[in-house]
Structure 1
Amino acid sequence: MRLTIDAQLPELTSHLSTLYIRLNGDLKQPLDAVAALLENSTRKRFETKTAPDGSKWAGLSLWTLYAKTAKNGRTRGSILVDRGDLLKSITSHATESMAEVGTDRVYAAYLQTGTAKMPAREIFGLSEQDHSDIRASLGEWLQTIWSK
């Protein structure tokens, strides 16, 4: 199962197209930085419990709270974190033409989109801050390229 969220930054497309030609089709260096930035942003969502659009994730259901509560009354983990397998599985990858962030955990698709009995808790996607950070990162990279 593969879940793909495709996001574009149209204001950068023409600049990157020009650079793509100038650099013989290899944008791996700046896309490595973008992939790392997005991986960090995705991981941070587990801390802030916030979707890319800024909305808070839905709280745990009573059943889930019960299932996560040990006999001593302490609750194990938090929303989308039980033992940390999903969080640990978040990785990023870049090639000369794309950057991606993902997981090999099949159940992440159900968490991302929700089910009939569970609200969506979006992990993947671009926030406004991500857009801003990507622009800044690419801007810095462009400055170094143009100043050579």
Structure 2
Amino acid sequence: MVIVAGWLVAAVLAVLVGVVGIGLVGTGLTTRAGESVSEAQVEQELGSVSTAPTAAAESPTAAQGKGTTARSFPTRGGTVVADCDKITSMAPAQGYEVHEQSAREGEFRGLRDNHVRIKVQLTCAAGTPQIRERGES
């Protein structure tokens, strides 16, 4: 009888510990549950980051080339950052990967179908970098 009672007490304690643990994880260990946050608080915590879209040719990044400013170009395969000298970086969009990258050309490929290709080529006109995009299947 004592053994059965001990097993029952242990089972009840195990269930209680599990319920309390799930409750702690559900509400977070360091945050207050159910407290709403104002828009001003969100902006303050995010450092007032602007989410306004910009045109590709008008969105210079902090990187500088030889007298030209690096610019960010959104493409179907991902984002390309380049100045007139070279393609600085390529960040694939979801569902794509960077297949190859050289100073003047690059290629994104689809992850599901390796035959979906987005090729990019860097040109420069009047000191302004431009990206030409070409899709292939």
> Is the pair's TM-score, using the shorter chain for normalization, greater than 0.5?
no
Q: Report the TM range for the smaller structure's normalisation.
A: under 0.3
Choose between structure 1 and 2: higher strand proportion: 2
TM-score after normalising by structure 2: 0.26
TM-score after normalising by structure 1: 0.25
Choose between structure 1 and 2: higher helix proportion: 1
Structure of larger gyration radius: 2
